[in-house]
Amino acid sequence: MRIAVPIVAGKVSSHFGRCDEFALVDAESETRAVLETRYLKPPAHEPGVFPKWLADNGADVIIAGGMGRRAQALFEENGISVVSGAPPDDLDDTVQRYLEGTLETGDGDCGH
């Protein structure tokens, strides 16, 4: 499984469209083990660009703080499951909680 996480200042971004970089985390879902993490600079943010770019980079899931409904739909159209409403916490902790099924999320709809 490849998990995409937008990052700002080393933490999960509150809004995926304003991130500095994306972490792409390869993980084994059965063992809950992180295999590799790499960081990529995203292309310029325009509607629909990130979902296709992340799909082209093999993402299966995106974990983000806030994300509009249209963006959520675009990710899902590109075969990427959306986990929205994640707190702006440390990447490793966030991914581990997701893999363990204990990641608590709030309202991730940023209203656009």
What is the pLDDT, as a whole number, of residue 42? 92
Would you write out the chain's pLDDT as a tens digit for each of its 112 residues?
999 999 998 899 988 777 889 999 999 989 999 999 999 999 987 888 999 999 999 999 999 998 889 999 999 999 999 999 999 999 999 999 999 999 999 865 554 4
What is the pLDDT, as a whole number, of residue 93? 96
- All residues at 6 or more sequence positions from 42 whose CB lies less than 8 Å from its CB, including other chains: 6, 19, 21, 22, 50, 53
Q: DSSP for 56-100, please give it.
A: HTT-SEEEESB--HHHHHHHHHTT-EEEE---S-BHHHHHHHHHH
Task: Note the pTM of the prediction, 2 decimals.
Answer: 0.92
What is the pLDDT, as a whole number, of residue 19? 86
What is the pLDDT, as a whole number, of residue 112? 45
Give the range of the structural domain holding residue 9, as residue numbers without chain letter: 2-100
Task: Give the tokens for residue 23.
Answer: 């972490």
What is the pLDDT, as a whole number, of residue 46? 83
Position 109 in a domain: no
Report strand pairing: 2-8 vs 21-28: antiparallel
Position 13 in a domain: yes
What is the pLDDT, as a whole number, of residue 24? 98
The count of structural domains within the chain is 1
Position 19 in a domain: yes
Position 41 in a domain: yes
Position 88 in a domain: yes
Position 55 in a domain: yes
Q: CATH number of the domain at 39, please.
A: 3.30.420.130
Position 107 in a domain: no
What is the pLDDT, as a whole number, of residue 107? 65
Distance CA 70, CA 92 (A): 28
Hey, is 34 helix, strand or coil?
strand
